[in-house]
Chain A
């Protein structure tokens, strides 16, 4: 069963991983987006449901696995790493240590998201965006003037097989844009049929479904 999916974007060879991470082997770069760490904490703080408080541990465990498998020299977190700044501040010490271990010895960039201005005291450095070779990395898709990798929308696609609907987070790509799925364990998704995504992606856009097996389909519209 295929457990990663390679493709060419901006003339570069990229690999989509089933976890929702993107690997650029030639650049030694791993990209993840929308981790939303601390979401359950924020919901509880606001008087909502008390969800199982294990999503930070689960999200970071997957990130650790991806890093172990790809051994990247650089890592980009493409924004909305934390559900909000208070959630970042409320991380337990063990989790901060874990993040510290991951960032050590790597060129680690926290891209600013709409939920989190910039995490502090966690190692790595913050930036609004970053350009690496021909590709720009930013949280929210721009006007399409350059080759760009972004997050923010949490795209998910639905595939019907024999009356059974399978819905999975997905990567979306056309000639110029690549939109990443949300990496966090507790993140919902936006259907690719939604106007916000349909208007953004050009004709011939494709969706790469995260999870196993990894497959690519025409973007459902």
Chain B
């Protein structure tokens, strides 16, 4: 269809605006009858219009009921889309209503939407799961014609995508004529995403938009050199302010919320011209975020300091520069963040990187080289996780009785689950129905009953409420709300419960860019007062744990090995030369190990450049050897290029701990007791519905009814070691945390070419590791020793005697 073939109202609208359709927009319109279609386009390529154009055309003469369901990973994106769609719909006078349905939608609005659905409904995967769990889902979605999945590349990376695709398989049954469109940023393997999107085994053609001109991207030049170890980018503040002055609107991205807060605080102190600058991240209250979003849309802000909450395709304001503080941990993420700047088709976007320490200078260089080479990293999961399937089965049961054969067919029409054996499905069904225990204790209280052969349903309809409350695959750490003290105190945001527990009256921390003072805890809310004068204690709440991709790690290793330092600033060259002098450079085919004391602990640092999962596994292997040799390991942290282990005693010779055969068997019991497995179990157990999420509102301030998931994990291991949840935990650990194969390969490759260098202090390359998040504690004898020391100290301090 050409622009001339558009319905007159739309054609007039385009003509009046002097708009012409991009080729990929025309193609999506022309091929709108394809059952599935994937569009790959750069940010700013008019993806959203391309996705909605067929809907606008099909509804131009009116459509009764729901026509198009739009799903995006972010609520904020839905708001943004509604604003953008309003322009063509209102100006062309189309009879189309657009509404959203998210966690923020009111009960009355939801009820009305069910009775009188809009033509276009905007939602998130979690809200969609909730909608299909209601008995009236069949009626709500019966007339559905199209589904548009936005930012599908981001959803496909995690379990939210698996959940969404399972929900789509249900929609397809309710609305057999439903067509699917996926909108994706540039990715390495479009075919994997197409497989994800389409109903298996339908084909899914891919439409590639013109990628546009290459971005203008470089490292920001600063007066001062970055520190050896440092995370905030504080040294670059004068240069950043200068850039903000010179551009219309600048987005300043950080990798974690805490860093965004600290940077914003310091930026504000240096902002002598009173430039209007805002902050936006996921831990701020909804009110605070919306205030900044509004100011942004109205063009009132010169700059906005942000984290991942602004990360995806939000298309607002007149952004002409993106500054990334801290190394971009994934090239893909960098490219998508750059897409924020100059959101006009065929105009190059502009970005500047601010490495926060000298190792990050290396990372930034490697990332820039990857962008130039058009190499994007991606680690897409290919087979669907079974904890999500368990949740989906429970969700379907909430909507009414179901036929197990039909549900199995539906589930295997989902790309990631297309190879799922029937026996695996039945295990999940059995888990949801009975708990799946070897001891059949719940025959009377099964959650699902087989009413007649093959037909299953909820035993007690009241359990639907509990299932619905636990829908979703995002596992948050427990957080507490923060408010200003006083009646009707303003909500400021959230902090992690663990951080809150360390606060005592008078402590200060950063929240929404201001320093606040901890006053007290009231009904699970942290009350604070403003305290602008004091230096803040650093907030430990974090956004995401970003990891570098394996590809970037390999690039860095090769830069180090070939001593390809030509493009690096002199301060970083000096830092690397120092590494060469006091220790040595890591080389492919050899394994560099450094040991050194620091802060009363003995450290071991291994540079494997083999990816975080492999390093985590390597750390487990070594700490097990250390525990057996009475060397008192305390914990470790792993990145994509190295792992750092610390303990109470020095390790004279690491090599004997690095046996490379039968790692899996050797680690079996050590792994079982490790925090990595327990964290994995907790996440999977919540998703699969074994344990409830902790809702702040539900938690009582009296005796806690909940107990730690570690107890369930240990109990299962002791009494039911073959239970499905333990097998799922292992599956998830193997794909997310542990990589035996890569470690075996590395150790084979290295053989006895292990270089252990004993230093008297931390080396230049090891310094940045001390800032890494995601430390894993070792529960061994060393911990016991520390507990005894601390107890003795506390008793002495309190003047209490030991008997």
Contacts and interface: CB of A to CB of B under 8 A. Distances in A.
B701 interface: yes
Given A52-B716, A212-B784, A213-B787, A188 B706 contact: yes
B505 interface: no
A50 B442 contact: yes
B692 interface: yes
Most buried by B among A40, A53, A216: A53
A161 B786 contact: yes
B803 interface: yes
B802 to A, nearest CB: 7
Contact of A52 (B723, B787, B797): B723
Nearest to A56: B441
B501 interface: yes
A188 B800 contact: no
A37 to B, nearest CB: 13
Nearest to A186: B707
A86 B274 CA distance: 68
A204 B445 CA distance: 48
B703 interface: yes
A7 B794 contact: no
Interface stretch (A105-113, A126-134, A152-160): A152-160
Contact of A49 (B441, B691, B777): B691
Interface residues of A, number: 47
A215 interface: yes
Given A53-B439, A57-B719, A45 B791 contact: no
Given A58-B718, A213-B788, A41 B441 contact: yes
Given A41-B441, A52-B720, A217-B794, A158 B702 contact: no
B608 to A, nearest CB: 26
Nearest to A6: B803
Given A154-B703, A194-B701, A53 B441 contact: yes
Interface string B443-481: 011010000000000011011001000000000000000
A154 B790 CA distance: 23
B798 interface: yes
Contacts of B716: 52, 54
B706 A47 contact: no
Contacts of A160: 502, 790
B498 interface: yes
B336 interface: no
A89 interface: no
Contacts of A216: 791, 795, 802
A51 interface: yes
A52 B712 contact: yes
B669 interface: no
A25 interface: no
A1 interface: yes
B711 interface: yes
B689 interface: yes
B707 A188 contact: yes
A55 interface: yes
A159 B787 contact: yes
B788 A44 contact: no
Interface stretch (A71-79, A117-125, A162-170): A162-170
A27 interface: no
B570 interface: no
A165 B788 contact: no
B533 interface: no
B346 interface: no
Interface string B497-511: 010011000000000
A204 B798 CA distance: 8
B707 A187 contact: yes
A53 B446 CA distance: 13
B610 interface: no
B743 to A, nearest CB: 26
A10 interface: no
B16 interface: no
Contacts of A153: 703
B704 interface: yes
A217 B795 contact: yes
Contacts of A196: 702
Contacts of A209: 787, 791
Contact of B689 (A49, A53, A162, A166): A49
Given A158-B501, A189-B704, A204-B800, A52 B715 contact: yes
Given A159-B790, A212-B784, A216-B795, A55 B715 contact: yes
A185 interface: yes
Interface in B419-457: 434-435, 437, 439, 441-442, 444-445, 447
A190 interface: yes
B705 interface: yes
A188 B704 contact: yes
A51 B712 contact: yes
Given A217-B794, A217-B795, A166 B787 contact: yes
B550 interface: no
B692 A49 contact: yes
Given A48-B466, A213-B787, A216-B802, A53 B435 contact: yes
Contact of A54 (B719, B783, B800): B719
B131 interface: no
A153 B703 CA distance: 7
A142 interface: no
B690 interface: yes
A209 to B, nearest CB: 8
A7 B803 CA distance: 6
B525 to A, nearest CB: 15
Contact of A190 (B702, B777, B794): B702
Contacts of A53: 435, 437, 439, 441-442
A41 B723 CA distance: 18
A206 interface: yes
Given A51-B712, A154-B703, A188-B707, A161 B441 contact: no
Nearest to A1: B784
A196 B707 CA distance: 19
B537 to A, nearest CB: 13
A165 B787 CA distance: 10
Contacts of B704: 154, 188-190
Task: Tell which of A6, A41, A50 has the most Cβ of chain B within 10 Å.
Answer: A50
Nearest to B461: A47
Interface in A80-121: none
Nearest to B701: A194
A41 B445 CA distance: 9
A39 B791 CA distance: 33
A66 B795 CA distance: 28
Given A41-B445, A44-B445, A217-B791, 5 more contacts: A1-B781, A50-B437, A194-B701, A218-B795, A218-B800
Interface of A: 1-2, 6-8, 40-41, 44-45, 47-55, 57-58, 153-154, 158-162, 164-166, 185-190, 194, 196, 204, 206, 209, 212-213, 215-218
11 contacts: A47-B459, A48-B692, A49-B690, A49-B692, A164-B783, A165-B502, A186-B711, A188-B705, A189-B704, A194-B701, A217-B795
Of all A-B residue pairs in the complex, the 4 with the closest CB atoms, nearest first, are A50-B435, A53-B441, A215-B791, A54-B719
